[in-house]
Amino acid sequence: MKLSLSRKLFLAVLGPALLATLAMGAADGWSFARGFLGHINSQTEERMATVLPRLRDYYREQRSWDGLREDRKEWFALIHPQGGLRLDQADWSLPVSDLTGAVFRISLLDAQQRSVISFVELRADAPRMPIEVNGQTVGWLVMTPFQSVTEAGGAMLLKRQLLASLAVGALALLLAALIAGWATRRLLAPVRQVAAATHRLAAGDYAERVSVSSDDEVGQLARDFNQLAHTLERNEQLRREFMADISHELRTPLAVLRGELEALEDGVRKLDGDSLHSLQQEVGQLNQLVNDLHELSMADVGALTYRKQPLDLVELLHESLAGARERCQEQGLTLELQLPMAAKPVLADAARLRQLLGNLMENSLRYTEAGGRLRIRLLEQNGHIVLDWLDSAPGVAEADLPRLFERFFRGEASRGRASGGSGLGLAICRSIAEAHGGTLEALPSPLGGLWLQLSLPREAR
């Protein structure tokens, strides 16, 4: 039979309580039996020590034990706890303390250890006390110990003790059952809530959330579930946006190509250099988009190869930005280069870094307004080489800065092709930076535009 978590918890709490109760009852009965027998036997030994002087005096007077053989009532008078009772006392009776039969465990032997008075079978290991008169042993007192509670007459006491232990054990089991029931309902209720919410989440309900009612492990589980649900909901939203963006970006060049080809087919447009150039531009745009998507997908699965080797980032910047000043002038931008004279060594793939720098340049040329500035500076901070890429207006809303590295995201709401590229350039740049153990962050530029900060670990030399 399959047990639910609540039943398992209930049994886990109740089971040890049941075992503890049974063990307590068994240990209590065993301890009582041993203690009771020990007490009775020790009392009997004390009786023997008390009786010994009386028997010594009796032997001095009678010169033998024959009187005790003939009249055992005299024997009981001698071993009576109060002593001195006479045979003619009408109210003579056994004391209550002897009702267990302890008095019958005491035997008298003569000097040759032959039985004078004995009510039970004597054992060889029974405790013995010599009776000496004038330095001569005239007899022996022997006690036969009790071996069981039944022999000692304590069966009723043992039964009462066991009943009391069972009553306490039953009360303990009842309390354990109540605690187990409370724990099952109280502790497992949030777990059941998370389990039910997980089932709905697995069915595709990414808006599912659970309430957090504690700060313990169960509360942490609820918080982690909510975070997981939020992440899945966000990923699903990004997936839908990604598919919509891809379809949009692919549809645009394809629609232009189709229009151009239909125009050529209908004779509206002649097949000349201009038409071929237009077709080539659209094919190039489509090819660039597909290449960017392929590169990002390869980066996601870690399949991109990087051939890293020590290089000077200052030298690489000079090479990559050789024609940047002329391009900036064409766009009406002023380029400010602030590069150090000393080498800044890094371990990197030169081709990938040139691709990153090219994407940053294209981003600035595409979005910076004419008459603005582009400032590029390189410095070293805390063992890292930091490249600051700052441009002037227009800027990006501060809330949109973290999203600039999302695929297909642009700072403005429009997704029209006139606003810029495909929205994959900065995503590729961050992927390259992270592959080199660095970071790429977006900040508000003091020039009024966007500040992209690339940080790479310095290569030790």
pLDDT (0 to 100) of residue 128? 83
Quick one: 315 and 418 in the same domain? yes
Quick one: 327 and 345 in the same domain? yes
Q: Which of 300, 325, 347 is the last residue of a domain?
A: 300
Residue 211 lies in a domain: no
CA distance 172 to 156: 24
CA distance 93 to 97: 12
Quick one: 348 and 409 in the same domain? yes
Query: Residue 424: which domain range?
Result: 309-457
CA distance 104 to 363: 114
Quick one: 191 and 106 in the same domain? yes
Q: Which of 300, 331, 354 is the last residue of a domain?
A: 300
Quick one: 313 and 363 in the same domain? yes
**Model confidence at 3: pLDDT above 70:** no
Quick one: 273 and 325 in the same domain? no
- Mean per-residue pLDDT for 417-437? 75
**Model confidence at 266: pLDDT above 50:** yes
Residue 209 lies in a domain: no
Quick one: 236 and 120 in the same domain? no
Quick one: 286 and 391 in the same domain? no
Residue 208 lies in a domain: no
The domain that holds 364 is classified in CATH as 3.30.565.10
Which strand (E) or helix (H) includes residue 115?
strand 115-117
Quick one: 403 and 373 in the same domain? yes
Q: Which of 137, 167, 200 is the last residue of a domain?
A: 200
Supply the pTM of this predicted model: 0.48
Q: Quote the number of domains for the chain.
A: 3
**Model confidence at 387: pLDDT above 90:** yes
Residue 210 lies in a domain: no
Residue 212 lies in a domain: no
Quick one: 196 and 61 in the same domain? yes
The domain that holds 257 is classified in CATH as 1.10.287.130
Higher pLDDT, 212 or 85: 212
Quick one: 69 and 183 in the same domain? yes
Residue 316 lies in a domain: yes
CA distance 45 to 418: 115
Q: Number of C-alpha atoms within 13 angstroms, CB side, residue 258? A: 6
**Which of these ranges, 232-236, 345-349, 445-449, has the smallest mean pLDDT?**
232-236
Convert the pLDDT of each residue in 101-148 to its tens digit.
666 777 888 888 888 887 777 777 778 889 888 888 888 888 777 665
pLDDT band at 90 (very low <50, low <70, confident <90, very high): very low
Convert the pLDDT of each residue in 4-22 to its tens digit.
656 666 666 667 777 777 7
Residue 329 lies in a domain: yes
CA distance 128 to 122: 11
What are 268's two structure tokens?
């509206």
pLDDT band at 98 (very low <50, low <70, confident <90, very high): low
Residue 82 lies in a domain: yes
Going by their DSSP bridges, the two strands 128-133 and 136-143 should be labelled as antiparallel
Quick one: 234 and 369 in the same domain? no
